[in-house]
Amino acid sequence: MAEFGSCVRITRASSKRVAASAMSDDQSTNKKRVVLGELPNIQNATGSAAQKRKATSQITKCKPKKRTKIAAAPMIKTTVVVEDNDPKLTVDDILDDPEMKGPYSSDIYAYLRKMEAEPIRRPIPNYLEKIQTDISANMRGVLVDWMVEVAEEYKLGSDTLYLSISYIDRFLSMNIINRQRLQLLGVSSMLIASKYEEITPPHVEDFCYITDNTYRRDEVVKMEADILKSLNFEMGNPTAKTFLRRFTNIAQEDFKIPNLHLEFLGHYLAELSLLDYNFVKFLPSLIAASVVFLAKFIIRPKQHPWGPNLQQYTGYRPADLRPCVLLLHDLYMARRGGSLIAVREKYKQQRFKSVAMMPSPPEIPFAYFEEA
């Protein structure tokens, strides 16, 4: 019996050791990877059973304290004065254009204003009378109207169109050409502007094709070289579209939500200005400011279209804009350039909110050209 009892005790002890080793193996195999933030929770979960029982007994022994009502303290009204030390946001700080932000926007604008007035980037205001002998203002208008259609055909950006016409006016201010080569000048200028602005510009053959193969490839390339030499490779001058982006964003501050009609109407008026030779004498920034003035007048004819913000950020007073605005209004009312329809048909489309068909009063009150 003694031997049998000792055998039983040995067997139970060995079975306990086997069970304990098995449990440790299971625990080691069930370990999971955890992130650092979860480690305190796992440490608490793996505490000893004695600690858990002790904590449980302490919880059960604790009796909840009775809640006592505390009389509410009388409300004392105090006035707190908060000093606003944050700098006030300017219009440039809240504009969407990332190139016109905060501390360097004024420097960029001053640089563009200086660049637009440089003689090497400006055409002669009356080059048709002084330089050209075989080209008229009407011929120039027909060429620009056709180039608007070409830009639409090849889906070129508006900056490409504005640069093309800038190259034409600057080239005609220095070189005499006959009317047979005027279209060649147009397509070659657009070829250069496409290379400057577009990601995938049309090929030379595309521009030959659009002229019904009136000009050969070598003629287009030769004219391209002549333009580049005449302009001394100064191809990056600011246009009315350059300033129109900034001025339109400033004008949008007068509306509770961004007004698409104001934006598209501005684009329409600016492209109309390209058709008329009389706008060559105006600086691009002045044309852009006049466009915003007239667009706001057409949308809200009973409100003064100019204000302190626009005057501050454009640098123009209403009186400065009067000659340009009146010319633009005549174009919009088709009292000038009525036979040139490409721009008008383009902006009658629904994707431009049909702004070419928006009604406008026949005259602009003289009082609007006084200080707002």
pLDDT in tens, 160-200: 999 999 999 999 999 999 999 999 999 999 999 999 999 99
Q: What is the pLDDT of residues 60-114, one digit of tens each?
A: 444 445 554 444 445 544 444 434 444 444 555 545 455 555 577 788 889 999 9
Rounded CA-CA distance 67/221 in Å is 95
Average pLDDT over residues 138-163: 95
Residue 70 pLDDT: 47
The DSSP string of 361-372 is -SS--GGGGS--
Higher pLDDT, 106 or 260: 260
Confidence band, pLDDT 50/70/90 cuts, at residue 239: very high
- Map out the domains of the chain as residue ranges: 121-231, 240-369
Site of tokens 């579209």: 241
Residue 337 pLDDT: 85
Rounded CA-CA distance 299/133 in Å is 42
Backbone angles phi, psi at 101, to 5 degrees: -100, 145
Confidence band, pLDDT 50/70/90 cuts, at residue 258: confident
Residue 29 pLDDT: 47
Residue 22 pLDDT: 53
- Dihedral sign for Cα 187, 191, 194, 200, please: positive
Confidence band, pLDDT 50/70/90 cuts, at residue 16: low
Q: What percent of the chain has pLDDT over 70?
A: 72
Residue 139 pLDDT: 96
Rounded CA-CA distance 191/203 in Å is 8
Assess contact for 164 and 186: CB atoms under 8 A.
Answer: yes
Rounded CA-CA distance 370/318 in Å is 6
Rounded CA-CA distance 76/63 in Å is 37
Nearest to 116 by CA among 314, 324, 278, 296: 314
pTM value is 0.73
Indicate whether 292 pLDDT > 50.
Answer: yes
Backbone angles phi, psi at 279, to 5 degrees: -85, -5
- Amino acid type, 43: Q
Residue 338 pLDDT: 83
Average pLDDT over residues 245-271: 88
If you average pLDDT over every residue of the chain, what do you get? 80
Task: Please list, in sequence order, all residues whose beta carbon lies within 8 angstroms of the beta carbon of residue 346, skipping any fewer than 6 positions away.
Answer: 148, 152, 271, 352, 356
- What is the C-alpha radius of gyration for the chain, rounded to an integer number of angstroms? 39
Nearest to 327 by CA among 263, 260, 277: 277
Average pLDDT over residues 239-248: 93
